[in-house]
Each structure stands twice: as C-alpha cells, then as structure tokens.
Structure 1
C-alpha cells in the first residue's frame, strides 16, 4: 500500500469516526439535537475540517501505528482537543451559544474511537510477534528486492531465530509504507533511534549492490547500537543458489575495504588456462591456494600443486577434488623444495606445464630481517631455479608473485623480492618463455598478516598492538590478489611488472578499530597500544617508482611498469657468496643492491591510486 493510499484510507476512516461520534454524542446528550438541524451540521463541518487540518499539522498520518506508544496517544489527544476547541469558538461566534455537554461527550468518544482504532493495530502486531516470541527482533536495512526476499524467507522459515520488525531505507518515497506487513520507518541516519525504540536485537544489511563506501556509512551507524549487525551474502551467491537469503553472515573487514574489486577478462583467461597444464608453486599458501581455486574454475587439463609443506598441499588437494568433483581436471601434488634445482627441472620435464604461477616465497618482514640468508635461498635462489627450469622446458608463461615492499625496499624481504624480479626479467630476455611479475600490497587474512593477529588479540581482550598511528598500507583480499595474478598471466607479453591500482591506502589503526567494532566490542573495551616501527618497516608502501611508472593502464585498474636496470653480475655474486657473509653484511648488501639506481640520485615515490 502506497503512502497516498494509506493516507486516503485513514482520512476516510477518521471522517466516519468523527461524524459518527458527533451524532452519537447528540443522541446521548439530548435527543432533540440528534436531528439534522443547522447547529449540528455546522458543528459537524467545523469539527471534521479542524480535525483533518490538525492531523496533518501534527503528522498524525505519518505515524507507524503498529508501534504506537504514549507519544502517539498524546498526539491524538492534541488533535482531538484542538478540533473541539475550534468548534467551541465557531459556535460562540456564529451561533452565540456553546453546546458544552455535546462537545465534551464528542471529545471523549473521539479519544475512544480514534485512539482505540490505532491501538488495535498495535495489539494485532504484538499478537503476531508473540507467535515468534523466541525469535530476535530484526531491523532490515534496504527495502528493495533483496530486503523483501529476506523478509519473506524469515517469515516463512519457522526454524530461523530472526523475526523482521521494520525496514530502514534512504528512499523517502518508501517511508511510511508497509512491505509485506513490515513498515519502512526511516533512513540510515535513524538507525540508532529505531533500534532503541523498537528494542532491535539484530540488524541485517540487505543491499547487495552497495559500494564499499556506502557500506562503511551504514556500518558506522550500526556499530553505534548494541544490535548484532549481519549482512546479506554476495548477490552472485544468491543468484547461483549457493546460499539462501536467510543465510545472513557477520560483516567482515573485507566488506569494508574501501574500494571495489577488479573485474576479470574471462575470455582472455579462458584461452590461457582452459585445457592447459598449469603449475602453482606455494600451492598450499594463502595466495597459492586461492590461485589454484580460481584456476580450477576455468577447467585446466592438469593442475600441479607444488609446495614444501605436505599438510597444506594435502589440504588444498582434498578441497579442490571435493569442490570440483565430476570435472575433468587432473589434480597432481608435488612435495618439493625450490632450492632443489634438480627436482625443479624434473617436475618441469615430467609435466611440461603451459603456465607457471610462482607464489612460493618467504614474506614475513621481521623474520627475514633476522634470517637474511633464508630470504636469499628461498626468494632468490628458489625463484631462479623454478624460472630456469621453466625456460628449459618450454613453459609458455611464467608469472611471479611479488610485493609492494620491493619498491625502494627498506627490508630484507623487500630487497630479495626486488632482486627476484630482476632475475625473472633477465631470464625473459634470453628465453622463449614470457616472464612477468605481479606486484600488489598486503593481503587481508593471509597467513602471518595483521588481520588474524588482531583477531587473536581481540579474543584475549586486548590490547591490540599497532606499530605507529600513521602507519599506512595498501590492502586487497586474497581472491582479488589471485585474480590479478591470473589476469597478468593472460596479459603477459614478457618482461612486465604488473601493478594493481589498489585505491587509497588504509591506516592500520583504522583497520584495528573496525575489527574491534566487528567483534562486538567498543573502543572503550579493547585498548589500542602503539609499539613503535619495527626494523625494515616503512610508514607507507609504494607500488612503483618514478623510473618504473607508465601513465596508461593495460587493463582496467592494472598498470604496467617499465623494465628496471638489471645488475645480474652483482646478484650472482650475492648468491654465490651469501653463506660467507655475516647477517648484518648480507642485509646491507641486499638493500644497497636493490636500491641502486644510476639514473636518478634521488628517488621520488609514486604510489598508485584511483
């Protein structure tokens, strides 16, 4: 029922109540007045007109009577009283006589009939809610098609513990309307008031098309309340039937990441992967395992899962075989160490992969600061072994996963990744294989990343430790990072460094605050403690230097860097002598070599942003 229809219905009902009350009053007070004479007709017209005018003035018809309370009763009392006073004044001015007893009885009957009719709606509503007394009162944010589906499912599903009470929507045309018997009672700015007035226990955000910025605005209003905030599953999961609309989930920090994901060129990727032999190194890790999941969607002929840890490789193998049961994909596992050059050569020779995604690496900054020789062995020597084996066995495309810490590196980990990029670029110059690197920022939820660490600290009751209040980082989700790597493989011409436009960097302290709120705690409950910047860390990360950057994008939100100066003789010397150097000397050597730039005495940082 639209607002106009609802308004018209109430006006008709109230008009009948007002007129009926007058004539009943006339009958009760004096039977002679009950006849249709001039005083009665005049009084009827005046009292009806004034009642409708005061109803509009005090917004009586905008009230949601399913939730009527003392405040609404006071408004009814005001409207009725003012209409009676207006009639009294007109009687005195025109008739020179006031029918006090008639007006007094009419006033009482109006309160009884008009107020009573409204509270009948509330009683009906409470009776309906009492049928679901064990279910939690729920506020639905979004009165569109998705929100309507949520309400329908919640009302029909007796096993669900949520019962919809009201809608919130910023579309003013929907305000004061009922959708499936559930009223739309305000916009996002009124969430706090509505939750308090209606004793809401759960909030469900049911707008799948929300941008990250819009979701942040809604979420920030929701966390001001004590209600538990949920969100509707992804629209693609609803459409494919993977989940039902009543399977709401908690809001996650990934939902609040302040940018929208990069879209993939499905056709181009299909040409690269479908019915091809694909090898993923580090397939048991956060990025490698997600790359493997994404690749499996494109139905490769074979997918070789290579890794050093047998448990992680076994886990991803079992997951993929279960998820893609019935497909023609041949999943193969190889337990191997990248530092074993002979084993890398054997693996490439046995399977002759078309594409290699090299995701294996040591990535923990403080640990590599204390163990620089391991960064050389795994990140540099391991990358060289895999790359040379790929080149020798006719691999079509080799994609190396890199990091934004490779730009103007201040850490051993970043320096080793920068030198690894140089290694694959040098091999690209002498090989028929197309070698490329993909550079991106921090990945939310990956092993050893800040998110799991913060969550554990919150579970313990705090404090949450942040190194510096101004610490900035670029963030992306694991699926987005994996999609970028796969897309880069499809775009590869050889020698490129692909960089994702990662939007605006995120303050680590803001990330910590969001996680605290998402956990159901307030910033007063969980303390944030600043511990100081660790060795090798920077306040902010870069994605390209001035020497590397190109203005154009090769794909929406994907940039490509220019080929860097290569220092292969020096890199080979480090690889051959690293075991003879002290850790301090090795660290200094790696950083000096990775930051050497003969074309520019002073480096200018060019972070990529939208």
Structure 2
C-alpha cells in the first residue's frame, strides 16, 4: 500500500494541478519537490488515520471515511496557512481538487484489491460452498455481506417469493423467483439453500423445506428472531434446520419491562441449571445483566457444561456454580444466604414419566422435598420472587411425576401467605421441543438407525413450545407474580405425535414406509401407551383462566391446602415412600392430590380404544388454546 501510494499520490496532485492550470507545461515550473512533498504529507495523514495498519481484505467503509476526513482536514489546514501567509508558490484551489482525486484513488484502489483478495483467498472455492439465500430481505442482505468476508460459503443468488423482486439486484446478487429453484440450482451448480427469513412461521418453513427438497437441494436456516436477539448476523448464524423450526409457532418478542424486572441488577439462583429449561433460563437471564447468577445442579457434567458455555458468551459476568441436591437444606440455605439471592427459578426436578413411575419413592423425594427446601429457604432469607417451573402433567395426573409436581405447586401455594415477603408463583406449560427426555431425540436416533419409529398410540397429542420462548415466558410470568399465582402459558394447538414423526422424516429428506408406499424409507410402529401416560395433556384443573399483562400468559386460581394440613399429608407420603410399596405410595399420594387417578393397563387400553371410536372422533380435547385466549 505504501509503495503504491508513493507512486500514485504525486500523480494525483499532478492531475489536480493540470485541472487547475489548464495544461501540462504550466505544472512543470513548480518542480518535482512540490509533488513529492504533498504526497509525503498525505501518506503521513493516512498513517495517522490507521490506513496502513488495516488488512485490506477486511477494510471497511468506516476506516475509509476516517481517512477521507483526515485528508480533508490536512488540505483545509494547508489552504488556511497558505491563505494567511499569502503564499503564492502553489495555487491554493489545486489543493481542494487534489482532495477529491486522492480520496477517490484511495477508495477505488482499496475496494478493488479487497474484492480481488476475497474472491481468490485460499484458491477457488469448492462447488459445495456455492449457496443461494432464500429471502431477499434485510436479513438475507446482511447474510450475503457476511458471506463475502468468510471462506465457508459463497452466495451467488437470492430466491424470493415476491414477484416485485424478480430479476432485481440485492447486495450485489440477482434475485430469482422461488418457483425457479430446481432450474437455477442446476444451472449455477447450487446444492445448498440458506433460509434467511428469521420471522417465518413454522408452516412457511415447512413449505420452503419441502420445495427445496423437491428441487434436489440441501437446506439450512438462519437463527430465529429469538435466537438472533442482540446478536449480529454472520455466517455463524447459519445452522441445520431443527424440528423446533417446523413445529413451533410465530414468536412474540418479550416485553422488556417484564423481562428485566426480576433479573436486571439482581442476584439470581436457578436450580436445575444444567437441564434443558434451566440452562435456557440462564442464557436469557445473562442477556439481562444480572448482578450475580448462581447455578445449582446435582449433575457435575451438566453444571460444568452450562457454566463453560455461559462464561464463554458472557466473560465479564459473575457466575457461581453450586454442585448438590435441592433436597440438601443446608446447602440451599447457604447459597441463598451467602449469595443474597433476590430471585429464584426452581427448575430442578425428575421429569421422565416412565422412569419416575418405576422409581416412585426417589422421584417423589426429589420433586416434593426439593420444593419444600427451596420454599423454606426463600422464605427464611426473604427472597423477593420464587418461581416454580411446573408442567401440564400436574393437571389431573395419571402418573407419579405429574402428581409430585402438583404437590410442589401446592407447597408453593401454601407458602404464599399475605404476610410473606416472598412472592411465590408457579408457571405451568407443556413439552418443549428438543428438551432432554423428549420424543425428538428418540425419533432422530430411530431415523438414523433406519427405523422403525415407535409411537405409543396414533391419537396421542401433546402441547409443544420452543425452549427459548418457554424460558422467556417463565421470566416474564415471574415478574407479574403477586403471590400464589398459577400462570399458564398459551401453548397453542396440540400436536399429534404421529405428525411430529412424519415431519421429522420429511426433514431428513426421506419417505414414510407404509402399505400405500412399501418402498418408503422409515416405518411407523405403534407400541401402546406406557404406564402413567395419557392420550392428551391439559393445562387447567378448573375451567377459568384470566388474561395477564402478557398476551401469551394466562393466570388461573386453583384449590390449595392449608400449610399445616399439607405438611402432615407430606409426612405421611414420606413414610409411605420409606416402605417402598407402590400401592401404599399411591394411596398417600391420592390423599394429597385428590384428582390423581393412576391408570391400570386395562384402563389405558380402554381409553385408547374409546379415543379411536367414531363417537370420540368428534370430541374436542378438554383444554384447547381457545380456552386460554
């Protein structure tokens, strides 16, 4: 750069003098020294502005702008000095002309070299890196610019559904209509399409994925709006399509006033911090800049993994890790006392229905005693807000896991006394897509193994929500708590598990194997309901749900037990757990959770048969999203 400028800048000043004086002969009477002197002064200004320290391949407009301003100030300074000294050795107006010529030279030369280096860095890109961007909007344009800097992808065109953008130019790339996917993909050698519509609905994503697969191309996606929050779009924003992208719903941005109320500049404790919901709560909390975040988990590896991730993403934030069980009252009290905790999110629980059903005593101890310990410690150290992460399985439970979570709710409700300085509340929602123990990892493994996908029953339905959205709504719900509130998240419409399986098969570019399509790839096999499993889940025990400050959070009032009565019943339940007799445990459980109705195998089979009968085909599920609206 320096050598090129030593040659080019004297020529730039020579051109400026010629434009000012009108001919070449007139410029020669000033001698060569004037041209060299002006060039040296210009190079000094460039050096001071940082131009020679920049890597040309990554040079940006801000540096060029700074260089132009520096050169302009130097020219104005020289003009001013010459004017006040009445120096007639050089025509002063030539300096102003020189600024335009020299700055044009700098911009054109640097951008030309930058373009050349980017297009040829590391040799010619392999054909597999040629990509098309689906979505010629703002996100797509930013992604195209980011790809020019990196070596991994090379964007060569856009696809978009809008006819008005057809054959237009966006970010230097031509836009083709999406109907020409297969044709253009073959012509230009594209085999990867990146979906750059962060706000697209799951239905739209499924349509695009199907169209791309039909065109014989691979597809990846950019992060969603929630995932992209406060993060700049780059090639790191590109990832594989997940089932969450196809079966979720259009996201609603969080209300910042609610989102930050219990977190910002607070000492926050998350129990079960290494789990799916707990770890996402930690990510969302860290984005709101808490004073200190305390992670609590009984799994050494889970605690290590979440701390490492958070420390890498938020290196300046204060993070404290606590290894142990929430049933350890002394440990929980020490953490709350020494950490001066303001807000608690209690997400620690055993949640896998068949495992807890097979290990009733341990499941109850963890979920019930853990809730008691957290509530007692929060009250003792006057924590401002304490939020229980509950589940739809706590509503009219047919299994021990759901019943134990309902007892945890009753414990929180009993603690919400008018005189208490702690606001206790519960947030109840259904399954989260991609969480540990969900059907998604199981189905994915079965597809990778070539099938079959095992489904308990063709009519099983579940409510699903994205993990980031669930965590955001939990934080916002806790901010609205007044004491004893039961918040119910609007889960949308329930999803049939069989449709979830079919969507995952399509996502992998495969076909379902059936009687109608014997040459398909993956078979669906029905294996019957498991112990404690229902065909559908509910979100309300009663039938009333009132609106809250947030459009997707409802508030309901449900029955509770007096603290002294509940404490005696829980003592009886713990005595039953010590016997390790399942019938005794269930009897003690029914004494607390009056709607708990464990199903026998015969009852489950009868329910499954009635669900598939013609009369049941027109029967709506007990709780639909319309009730929550």
With structure 2 as the length reference, what TM-score do the two structures score? 0.68
The residue that corresponds to 1:343 in the other structure is 331
How far did 1:176 drift?
4.7
Alignment of 1:32-431 (within 5 A): 134-135=127-128, 138-151=131-144, 154=147, 156=148, 159-162=151-154, 164=156, 166-177=157-168, 183-187=174-178, 191=181, 195=185, 200-234=190-224, 242-245=232-235, 248-327=238-317, 329=318, 331-429=319-417, 431=420
How far did 1:486 drift?
1.3
How far did 1:225 drift?
3.5
How far did 1:528 drift?
2.2
Aligned mate of 1:541, from 533, 537, 542: 537
How far did 1:433 drift?
1.4
Q: Is the 8 A contact 2:226 2:468 kept in 1?
A: no
What is the rounded CA distance, in whole Å, between the counterparts of 1:511 and 1:191 in structure 2? 26
How far did 1:424 drift?
0.9
Q: Is the 8 A contact 1:258 1:504 kept in 2?
A: no
Most deviating of 481-490 and 413-422 = 481-490
How far did 1:556 drift?
1.7
How far did 1:281 drift?
1.1
How far did 1:532 drift?
1.4
What is the rounded CA distance, in whole Å, between the counterparts of 1:590 and 1:604 in structure 2? 26
How far did 1:214 drift?
2.1
Q: Is the 8 A contact 2:576 2:584 kept in 1?
A: no
Q: Cα gap change, 1:309/1:146 in structure 2, threshold over 3 Å: closer, same or farther? A: closer
Q: Is the 8 A contact 2:453 2:501 kept in 1?
A: yes
How far did 1:525 drift?
1.9
The residue that corresponds to 2:91 in the other structure is none
The residue that corresponds to 2:497 in the other structure is 508
Q: Cα gap change, 1:268/1:140 in structure 2, threshold over 3 Å: closer, same or farther? A: closer
Question: Does residue 475 in structure 1 map to residue 474 in structure 2?
Answer: no
Q: Cα gap change, 1:263/1:141 in structure 2, threshold over 3 Å: closer, same or farther? A: closer
> Does the residue aligned with 2:177 lie in a helix, a strand or coil?
coil
Alignment of 1:431-580 (within 5 A): 431-523=420-512, 524-547=520-543, 549-566=544-561, 568=566, 569-580=568-579
The residue that corresponds to 2:107 in the other structure is none
Q: Cα gap change, 1:391/1:467 in structure 2, threshold over 3 Å: closer, same or farther? A: same
> Does the residue aligned with 1:544 lie in a helix, a strand or coil?
coil
Structure 2 unmatched runs, 5+: 1-122, 513-519, 597-619
Instruction: State the superposition RMSD in angstroms.
Output: 3.0
> Does the residue aligned with 1:431 lie in a helix, a strand or coil?
coil
Most deviating of 538-547 and 169-178 = 169-178
Structure 1 unmatched runs, 5+: 1-129, 598-602
Q: Cα gap change, 1:493/1:238 in structure 2, threshold over 3 Å: closer, same or farther? A: closer
Most deviating of 386-395 and 257-266 = 257-266
How far did 1:161 drift?
4.8
The residue that corresponds to 2:102 in the other structure is none
Q: Cα gap change, 1:171/1:495 in structure 2, threshold over 3 Å: closer, same or farther? A: same
Q: Is the 8 A contact 1:545 1:604 kept in 2?
A: no
> Does the residue aligned with 1:606 lie in a helix, a strand or coil?
coil
Q: Is the 8 A contact 1:201 1:228 kept in 2?
A: yes
How far did 1:178 drift?
5.6
Q: Is the 8 A contact 1:282 1:308 kept in 2?
A: yes
What is the rounded CA distance, in whole Å, between the counterparts of 2:274 and 2:343 in structure 1? 18
Q: Cα gap change, 1:537/1:193 in structure 2, threshold over 3 Å: closer, same or farther? A: farther
> Does the residue aligned with 2:416 lie in a helix, a strand or coil?
helix
How far did 1:177 drift?
4.5
Q: Cα gap change, 1:410/1:223 in structure 2, threshold over 3 Å: closer, same or farther? A: farther
The residue that corresponds to 1:122 in the other structure is none
Q: Is the 8 A contact 1:132 1:163 kept in 2?
A: no
Question: Does residue 584 in structure 1 map to residue 575 in structure 2?
Answer: no
What is the rounded CA distance, in whole Å, between the counterparts of 2:405 and 2:228 in structure 1? 40
Q: Is the 8 A contact 1:149 1:245 kept in 2?
A: no
How far did 1:241 drift?
5.6
Q: Cα gap change, 1:168/1:556 in structure 2, threshold over 3 Å: closer, same or farther? A: same
What is the rounded CA distance, in whole Å, between the counterparts of 1:382 and 1:236 in structure 2? 31
Q: Cα gap change, 1:275/1:182 in structure 2, threshold over 3 Å: closer, same or farther? A: closer
What is the rounded CA distance, in whole Å, between the counterparts of 2:580 and 2:144 in structure 1? 67
- Number of aligned residue pairs: give it: 471
Q: Is the 8 A contact 1:409 1:591 kept in 2?
A: no
> Does the residue aligned with 2:301 lie in a helix, a strand or coil?
helix
Superposed CA deviations along residues 188-240 of structure 1, whole A, max 9, x for unmatched, are x5545655676642222222332233222222322333210122344687795
How far did 1:402 drift?
0.4
> Does the residue aligned with 1:540 lie in a helix, a strand or coil?
coil
What is the rounded CA distance, in whole Å, between the counterparts of 2:310 and 2:229 in structure 1? 23
> Does the residue aligned with 2:437 lie in a helix, a strand or coil?
coil
How far did 1:462 drift?
1.9
Superposed CA deviations along residues 157-191 of structure 1, whole A, max 9, x for unmatched, are 58345452x5432222233556577554434x554
How far did 1:369 drift?
0.9
